[in-house]
Structure 1
Amino acid sequence: MEKVKILAIVGSLRKESFNRQLALAAQAALGQQAELEILDFADVPMMNQDIEFPAPEAVSRVREKVKAADGIWFFTPEYNHYFSGVLKNLIDWLSRPISQSEPQVLAGKPAAISGISLGMSGTAIAQDHLVTLISFLNMQVMNMPRLTVPSAMQQLDEQGKLALTSSKPFLEAQAEAFVSFVQAKK
């Protein structure tokens, strides 16, 4: 069987963000079960219908990455009880039809959601908002298990890097469940 291809979309552009580190931990947790690529979308412009057709090169590139993926795994921070503006902007671009004959690229894609935050909610509220949006866009959401990692500062090693102490088994369980979910949807 061909290896599952998962595209990780991290809702923070910061190079060392906790959610990017969580995506890297998910990549390690997947091991040989699947390939996980972290999407680079820092160059995607703000959604603007004046530049929608033809789409900017950065938008075309991320659309192709989404189309090639078997599943999308979102790693979202929580800003003011919501997911980030950069994530919303990316989803806005991905939700638009590519042309008169080619629909948007998110419909039908299996999706998983994880997140880590400094606060106690562990991104649960942001994840609920994200589920509402991606469900509207007809993604196939794996609602359970989801991973919410609270109190990020307690999950760091001596160098300030994410070590995932108590949350590691939950990430591993989510990784395994998502691979099975994606395979079942193929």
Structure 2
Amino acid sequence: MNKVKILAIVGSLRKGSYNRQLALAAKEIVKDTADFTLLDYQDVPLMNEDIEYPAPDAVKRVREEVKAADGIWFFTPEYNHFFPGVLKNLIDWLSRPVSENEPQVLAGKPAAISGISLGMSGTAIAQDHLVTLISFLDMKVMNVPRVTVPNAWQYVDDQGKLIMESIYPHLEKQAKAFVNFIQAKCL
């Protein structure tokens, strides 16, 4: 059986973000069962219908990466009880039809969501907002299990690196479930 292709989309552009670290830990967990890539989208411009057709090169590139993936795994922080604007901007671009003959690229894609934040909700509120949006865009959302890590400062060493000891079992459970979910939905 071919390995599934998971594309991770981190909702923070910060290189050392906790959610990026969480995504990299997930990559290590699934290394034997899936191809796992982190999407680089920092060059995607703000959504603007004036430049929608033809789409900017950065948008074309991320669309191709999404199309090539069997599943999308979102890792999102929570900013003011919502997912970040950069993630919303990316999803806005991905939600638009590619052309008159080609629909948007998110429809039908299996999706999982994880997140870590400094706040007490552990990104649960942001994740619920994200589920509302991606469900509307016809993604197939794996609602259980999800990983929500509150109070990130409790899981970080003095260099800003995540201490995964207590998080790892939950992430491992979600990773296994997501690979199975993708295989059941797509392959």
Sort the TM-score into its range (normalised by shorter chain). over 0.9
What whole-Å deviation, never above 9, does each CA across 1:113-134 have from its counterpart, x for those lacking one? 0000011110000000000000
Deviates more, 1:108-117 or 1:164-173: 164-173
Shift of 1:158: 4.4
User: Structure 1 residue 97 and structure 2 residue 97: aligned?
Assistant: yes
Find the counterpart in structure 1 of residue 28 from structure 2: 28
Find the counterpart in structure 1 of residue 55 from structure 2: 55
Corresponding pairs, count: 186
State the TM-score, normalized to the length of structure 2: 0.98
Share of identical aligned residues, percent? Answer: 75
| Partner Cα separation in structure 1 for residue 79 and residue 160 of structure 2 | 21
Aligned amino acid, residue 110 of structure 1: P
Partner-residue secondary structure (3-state), 1:74: strand
Find the counterpart in structure 1 of residue 9 from structure 2: 9
| Partner Cα separation in structure 2 for residue 27 and residue 116 of structure 1 | 16
Matches within 5 A, 1:126-141: 126-141=126-141
| Partner Cα separation in structure 2 for residue 47 and residue 160 of structure 1 | 32
Shift of 1:140: 0.1
Find the counterpart in structure 2 of residue 176 from structure 1: 176
Shift of 1:49: 0.3
Shift of 1:157: 3.1
Ranges in structure 2 where 5+ consecutive residues have no aligned partner? none
Once superposed, what is the RMSD of the aligned Cα atoms? 0.7
| Partner Cα separation in structure 2 for residue 165 and residue 176 of structure 1 | 18
Runs of 4 or more, structure 1, over 4 Å off, are none
| Partner Cα separation in structure 1 for residue 68 and residue 80 of structure 2 | 33
State the TM-score, normalized to the length of structure 1: 0.98
Deviates more, 1:147-156 or 1:57-66: 147-156
Ranges in structure 1 where 5+ consecutive residues have no aligned partner? none
User: Structure 1 residue 18 and structure 2 residue 18: aligned?
Assistant: yes
| Partner Cα separation in structure 2 for residue 86 and residue 72 of structure 1 | 16
Find the counterpart in structure 1 of residue 84 from structure 2: 84
Aligned amino acid, residue 141 of structure 2: V
Partner-residue secondary structure (3-state), 2:173: helix
